[in-house]
Structure 1
């Protein structure tokens, strides 16, 4: 039987640049995402909120999950809090910036998160739900021009959420998972398959609590039976009906898994009921 582990992080008042700008809903969102995991039948649920949400606590949680999970198992990681961008000192970003999550004691870079994804075995499926500013994975054009509008921004794959890389066209991905533009051209050493569902693109801020509120509305206490693609489409529509300045994103990272986005959301190994004529939102 597949194992399902979830980790939920919420930080209203991080240390550092955002210390004077506390959020209102991030820590309660972590509890509510943990409730979602409970409704979905996750066997192990960890909540890190406020001062408990440190870089060391995140390290221990992810390293422990990597030792526990094997092929066919599922990890759900949610983060609610401030996101930021810092200059890319390692020079592995095509546009010159790293994205971060702002924890209670420090910021964790996208490069660091990519390192954690590499700890997981092949066949592990990871879902990351990020309600933070700059959480998406779309980047700049190859010529270094400023980002296009979200609706027309050319797709790039990112290392963890980081290094800009090109996609390759995958017709079978289009058929199997219409919410994913194309499969990763390079797994970048990540053997697991990972879906990143973020509240906004990488050049947008995210309104406090908005994305999680609509995600939980669609989830509807576990009565939602659709796939991750279905979930993303519906949440994206709700968010953009309220504000066109924030566009949720969905990306596949690591090892391509064409069936993953079409599984029933947050239900490991369950195929979602087929839907006909569903609109494609990208």
Structure 2
């Protein structure tokens, strides 16, 4: 680990013409410096500016010279506690300021634009250092809000006076500053919005929120700073920024300030570095469990693709077995109190401990622990282990067949597991009321056609209702149709599900190459996002089917478990291509153990020009072995539709509307202490590749 340079600034005593005074910012910097000294044993190099010394010029010079002295492997920390402000954006600024506002820190003599700050920090990061900015101020958005301050809270927002300039005026001032720098031989760029972000930001609030200061243990502090410092003191030496901010966020919520801290960028990468730099910490989990103002919550919600409303309780999370005190990925404390260990495991990790969704919101899910009691002082890494899907909707158009929709709805009510309601389907009055996916049932002359939203027929027509012409068609029992719709909904759910942002994303690459050119480049999708392979010239009676080789490259530094599913347009799914194996770091797995993969039409489809078949290859990557039973489905076959006694959902697994991502159950499915015995929760990710195999037209056919 390299050296740590920290430039820490705080302003309480603002001049009256600049902003109202604050009382907690100097305390913020004092305590932040104490934490830094304690964590580094005094080895950190620290420069502190307070009150009137925090001018725009002094801050810029401190970043450029003091933090700019770092080199590769070092850590540069910039900390600001004070007022924030915003001005109206105009001109070119509107291209990069979606809020229509320019944000700025308020120094003792005026504003320092966020774009200018970002450019300065970017220059430091360009030296190879790890750069972190902690900003405890109303970083943006406060002027347009009428938030009522909580009792004892003071907002850190300064309305901009006209002399600070707005839009192009502020940019003109910036250009004058640049001219002055150029005369002194100093090179700087006021506007670098296009420069990739190479530093990490921990901000006190979102763009549209105020941030506050209040009294804690007899001293005034910023709500965010107090929470962040408390979480950092309770954390282990290798805690990551992601885990640290999650713990601080929980504390902010309990303080009642109404603000939501921000970590940026939050994608896997720099956010998973250890706090204050050092070697990359091991991945903790895709999501975190913490105790917030409304109880236990996981930082994953509808914005990440989870289902809300009725049925959302089918979504579950499981605690990852990551070790305990001293381990890189152990849970960290979100409260400085010495709470007793109340987690399910002897060491407090509760590996496999299950959390069931209670309320799914846009950014988080409120959960209930299942038969175990987490420690409210800790943050636990968790993974999504059961994914509930919203039901597909079905509308019925049946001219001359009164009550058709009601009869189908009654059949759906018994089409689920054990003869209960199907969680995969919901009958609605019209397509306009529908969700996605949506199926249209058009009943006419004793048959029902099942159509996609765009009118494409999905299966051959099924008997339904009565044939008014008396030709013997029709079926008064709609259970076969309900079974078909249930099967289609389950298959669509399997084809379309994707992982939430995961540390395993893009770790395994799928390559499809022609069998007769194994050393050539991999096939790439066309403009429709599909890889297309065509039959070749064979005999006069039968063209030659295409053959390919499919390879799975593990590009990571650890062994990963992979399964490659083949989902066909006959509504089947199987794992025969790559049934589920570990692939070593840097190694390659081969579908069918290296044998060629034949792409061909099924025997039921004539090999005529224009005929085609579609496949979707879905790769599932996990840290450990998964149970593949929920990912396998037989093709839809109306002749095999289940009997009335069996229940329509008994044929295929996973028809309960929930996909489970757990290890193979070695114990018959018993749950003990909120977990499935023998099932180990693992992180996972997915990728889907669309394939189309076609019989080409001759020289006089379409497209010739």
What TM-score does the superposition give when structure 1 sets the normalisation length? 0.71
Change in 2 beyond 3 A, CA 1:111/1:227: same
Alignment partner of 1:101: what SS?
A: strand
| Residue in structure 2 matched with residue 84 of structure 1 by the alignment | 85
**d(CA) in 2 for partners of 1:3, 1:90:** 42
**d(CA) in 2 for partners of 1:205, 1:218:** 21
2:269 counterpart of 1:269: no
**d(CA) in 2 for partners of 1:83, 1:240:** 21
Alignment partner of 1:117: what SS?
A: helix
| Residue in structure 2 matched with residue 116 of structure 1 by the alignment | 120
Alignment partner of 1:278: what SS?
A: strand
Whether the 8 Å contact between 2:12 and 2:82 is mirrored in structure 1 is yes
Change in 2 beyond 3 A, CA 1:52/1:193: same
Change in 2 beyond 3 A, CA 1:22/1:16: closer
Whether the 8 Å contact between 1:127 and 1:194 is mirrored in structure 2 is yes
2:213 counterpart of 1:200: no
Whether the 8 Å contact between 2:212 and 2:257 is mirrored in structure 1 is no
Give the drift of 1:227.
0.8
Alignment partner of 1:130: what SS?
A: strand
**d(CA) in 2 for partners of 1:111, 1:83:** 14
**d(CA) in 1 for partners of 2:18, 2:99:** 23
Whether the 8 Å contact between 2:53 and 2:108 is mirrored in structure 1 is yes
Q: For 1:215, which of 225, 228, 241 is the aligned residue? A: 228
**d(CA) in 2 for partners of 1:114, 1:274:** 27
Instruction: Name stretches of at least 5 consecutive residues in structure 1 with no aligned partner.
Output: 137-145, 147-185
Whether the 8 Å contact between 2:82 and 2:136 is mirrored in structure 1 is yes
**d(CA) in 2 for partners of 1:90, 1:237:** 39
Q: For 2:259, which of 230, 246, 249 is the aligned residue? A: 246
| Residue in structure 1 matched with residue 240 of structure 2 by the alignment | 227
Give the drift of 1:198.
0.8
Q: How is 1:1-282 mapped onto 2 (pairs within 5 angstroms)?
A: 2-15=2-15, 19=19, 21-41=20-40, 42-65=43-66, 67-89=68-90, 91-92=92-93, 93-120=97-124, 121=126, 123-135=128-140, 188-190=194-196, 193-208=198-213, 209-220=222-233, 223=236, 225-243=238-256, 245-252=258-265, 258-266=268-276, 268-272=277-281, 275=284, 278-279=288-289, 280-281=298-299
More strand by share: 2
Alignment partner of 2:275: what SS?
A: coil
- For residues 229-278 of structure 1, give each alpha carbon's deviation from its aligned partner in whole angstroms, at most 9, with x where no partner exists: 0001011111123326211111129xx9x542222212x21444664673
Give the drift of 1:37.
2.0
**d(CA) in 2 for partners of 1:271, 1:71:** 15
Whether the 8 Å contact between 2:18 and 2:109 is mirrored in structure 1 is no
| Residue in structure 1 matched with residue 491 of structure 2 by the alignment | none
Whether the 8 Å contact between 2:6 and 2:67 is mirrored in structure 1 is no
Alignment partner of 1:85: what SS?
A: strand
Alignment partner of 1:238: what SS?
A: helix
**d(CA) in 1 for partners of 2:83, 2:258:** 17
**d(CA) in 2 for partners of 1:269, 1:96:** 38
What TM-score does the superposition give when structure 2 sets the normalisation length? 0.30
Whether the 8 Å contact between 1:210 and 1:239 is mirrored in structure 2 is yes
**d(CA) in 2 for partners of 1:238, 1:189:** 33
**Which structure has the bigger radius of gyration?**
2
Give the drift of 1:221.
7.0
**d(CA) in 1 for partners of 2:67, 2:226:** 29
**d(CA) in 2 for partners of 1:35, 1:223:** 17
Whether the 8 Å contact between 1:36 and 1:222 is mirrored in structure 2 is no
Q: Which deviates more, 10-19 or 74-83?
A: 10-19
Give the drift of 1:104.
1.0
More helix by share: 1
Bigger relative contact order, structure 1 or 2 (CA pairs below 8 A, ≥6 apart): 1
**d(CA) in 2 for partners of 1:252, 1:262:** 10
Alignment partner of 2:118: what SS?
A: helix
| Residue in structure 2 matched with residue 175 of structure 1 by the alignment | none
Alignment partner of 1:72: what SS?
A: coil
Whether the 8 Å contact between 1:264 and 1:270 is mirrored in structure 2 is yes
- For residues 85-112 of structure 1, give each alpha carbon's deviation from its aligned partner in whole angstroms, at most 9, with x where no partner exists: 1122453123221111111111111121
Between Structure 1 and Structure 2, how many residues are aligned? 228
Give the drift of 1:127.
0.9
